[in-house]
Structure 1
Amino acid sequence: MARTNKTEYGPFGNKTGNQFSIQAPKDNQIAGFQGTSSNVLNSIDVHFAPIPSASAGGQPAGSAASAKKLEAKGGNAGNPWDDGAHDGVKKVCVGQGESGVTYVKFVYEKDSKEVPGNDHGKKTLLAPEEFVLDPNEYITAVEINYDNIFGTESEIITMLKFMTNKRTSPPFGLEGAKSVLLKEDGHKIVGFHGKAGADILHQVGVHVKPISK
């Protein structure tokens, strides 16, 4: 179970064995996780960081304050994931299966440093395809195709295509029955979120920030 400054999520899993909680010290927040795992999660610990001071507008200071989260599109199944908002996107990795997009991973830029996102979905025998952005290139929109494929519990992502300020990526996957373009005029995409099953992608959404003049 996870608690934030606004709400509570979970529980995730079943209550068995020993139970404990980790509380952030005063004026601190949980900023990262560490632990050990095998085929199950064996241990978990956290990193703390000071809570950013409020800006004049009452929002946390820093680059995330100006970010906006656009609703994810696709099927309503799978587990939610969220890479958060960064300064930009440096690389996109997309894996495909017989029915649709099975895997995504994004590499971001934050404070001039490369920040790899987590794996979402499952890799197949086919190596993931990559779309690498040039310096000063940023993603302005993503086209999402999704469909209800026979044998799937919900609609799945069948194709992703990325538009930047310089070009358009090749389509990763096949066109589906439904198509939507995620974008915000005058903004760039700086993060992704969505839902994924064990071996398929169900939803994709984005975080956007105003393009610096």
Structure 2
Amino acid sequence: MDKTVTKTVVKAEPQQHHHGSTSAAAELIAVGGDPESLICPKCLHRLKPPVFQCAAGHLLCTTCRDELPEKNECASCFFTTATGYTRCYGVERILQSIRVVSHNAIRGMLVCNEKEEHGKMSPSQAGNEQRQGPPVKLGPCGGDGGGSWKVDVRGISRIVKVRVRHAAAVDAIAVMYERDGRKEWTKRWGGSGGKRSEICLQPEEYITCVKGHIGYYNDWFVVRSLTFVTNLRTFGRYGEAEGAPFQLPAAGGRIVGFHGRSGNLLDALGTYVRMDV
């Protein structure tokens, strides 16, 4: 599933009325949210205050920040700044205000988008989602050019093949998935330039990390190179090692999908990680 839409209940502060009195009880407001946005991209655990962010806005939990060998280097984009990580008080206030309520606890809390998504899932897909939980969304790393895209990862058991077009930068990427026993190709994300390389994974092989470089090429901030690491071997480098290094590790899980931005080149790339159970 590309995005798990849930309902949370946010406890609002007691409201001050115009005549000076305060309401006796705090107001409970039902809001929609994406739980993937509240996960530390390094350890893949739920964020808890204190929360830190780099200059580019990437979040990190306090445990992972304390374990960084270089405190001024971002663990997601690997940019180095003089200030390093700083406290993200806005996210901390949001985390402290959220009270998660199950869908069974409040009648009618399931929103329309979630009803539609659940209606599309086969029994086997729903069973896998319940056992494994939704995939974790990491990234994307790169620029904000091009158009955004993502993959519906429901029912995907593994990535079978990856095609990369590359030269001085990464021109495009396409992926073959195995979903409910059937193999299917995605569309090509990016342009038709560069050399085409194809990665073929063995039946028991899965991608554990995607890394590379992001930087400027012809005045566009794009993905300059990609390397794919599996549980068995390493593929690449595809493109040129120019710009800032980045990596998107699965941290004990496996990468089952991608999302990003592209035009004539691959502007940005992110991953969906499924944690093994």
Q: What TM-score does the superposition give when structure 1 sets the normalisation length?
A: 0.68
What is the rounded CA distance, in whole Å, between the counterparts of 1:27 and 1:68 in structure 2?
A: 17
From the superposition, tell whether residues 87 and 180 of structure 1 become closer, same or farther in structure 2 (CA, over 3 Å): same
Query: Which has more radius of gyration?
Result: 2
Equivalent of residue 73 in structure 1, options 134, 141, 158 = 141
What is the rounded CA distance, in whole Å, between the counterparts of 1:26 and 1:106 in structure 2?
A: 26
Amino acid at match of 2:158: G
Equivalent of residue 140 in structure 1, options 192, 208, 221 = 208
3-state SS in 2 of match to 1:148: strand
> 8 Å contact 2:224–2:243 — kept in the other structure?
no
What is the rounded CA distance, in whole Å, between the counterparts of 2:120 and 2:254 in structure 1?
A: 26
Equivalent of residue 128 in structure 1, options 179, 196, 213 = 196
From the superposition, tell whether residues 27 and 66 of structure 1 become closer, same or farther in structure 2 (CA, over 3 Å): closer
What is the rounded CA distance, in whole Å, between the counterparts of 1:76 and 1:52 in structure 2?
A: 32
Which residue matches 1:34? Answer: none
Q: Which runs of 5+ in 1 are unaligned?
A: 8-24, 31-48, 54-59
Equivalent of residue 163 in structure 2, options 93, 98, 108 = 93
> By how many angstroms is 1:52 displaced?
4.7
What is the rounded CA distance, in whole Å, between the counterparts of 1:138 and 1:76 in structure 2?
A: 28
From the superposition, tell whether residues 26 and 94 of structure 1 become closer, same or farther in structure 2 (CA, over 3 Å): closer
> What RMSD, in angstroms, separates the aligned Cα atoms of the two structures?
2.9
> By how many angstroms is 1:66 displaced?
2.7
3-state SS in 1 of match to 2:241: coil
What is the rounded CA distance, in whole Å, between the counterparts of 2:142 and 2:182 in structure 1?
A: 31
3-state SS in 2 of match to 1:171: strand
Which residue matches 1:29? Answer: 116
3-state SS in 1 of match to 2:232: coil
Amino acid at match of 1:117: T
From the superposition, tell whether residues 112 and 180 of structure 1 become closer, same or farther in structure 2 (CA, over 3 Å): same
From the superposition, tell whether residues 173 and 189 of structure 1 become closer, same or farther in structure 2 (CA, over 3 Å): same
What is the rounded CA distance, in whole Å, between the counterparts of 2:257 and 2:272 in structure 1?
A: 5
> By how many angstroms is 1:123 displaced?
1.2
From the superposition, tell whether residues 186 and 155 of structure 1 become closer, same or farther in structure 2 (CA, over 3 Å): same
List, as ranges, runs of 4+ consecutive aligned residues in structure 1 with deviation greater than 4 Å.
Answer: 4-7, 25-28
- Does residue 61 (structure 1) correspond to residue 129 (structure 2)? The answer is no
> By how many angstroms is 1:204 displaced?
0.3
> By how many angstroms is 1:77 displaced?
1.4
What is the rounded CA distance, in whole Å, between the counterparts of 1:68 and 1:180 in structure 2?
A: 18
Equivalent of residue 186 in structure 1, options 246, 252, 258 = 252
What is the rounded CA distance, in whole Å, between the counterparts of 1:83 and 1:66 in structure 2?
A: 13
How many pairs does the alignment contain? 164
Structure (1 or 2) with the greater helix fraction: 2
What is the rounded CA distance, in whole Å, between the counterparts of 1:71 and 1:88 in structure 2?
A: 20
> By how many angstroms is 1:84 displaced?
2.8
3-state SS in 2 of match to 1:66: coil
What is the rounded CA distance, in whole Å, between the counterparts of 2:152 and 2:120 in structure 1?
A: 16
From the superposition, tell whether residues 26 and 82 of structure 1 become closer, same or farther in structure 2 (CA, over 3 Å): closer
Amino acid at match of 1:165: N
What is the rounded CA distance, in whole Å, between the counterparts of 2:175 and 2:151 in structure 1?
A: 9
Q: What TM-score does the superposition give when structure 2 sets the normalisation length?
A: 0.53
> 8 Å contact 1:144–1:204 — kept in the other structure?
no
Which residue matches 1:157? Answer: 223
Structure (1 or 2) with the greater strand fraction: 1
3-state SS in 1 of match to 2:202: coil
Cα deviation code 1:14-70 (max 9, x no counterpart): xxxxxxxxxxx999637xxxxxxxxxxxxxxxxxx82559xxxxxx93445431111
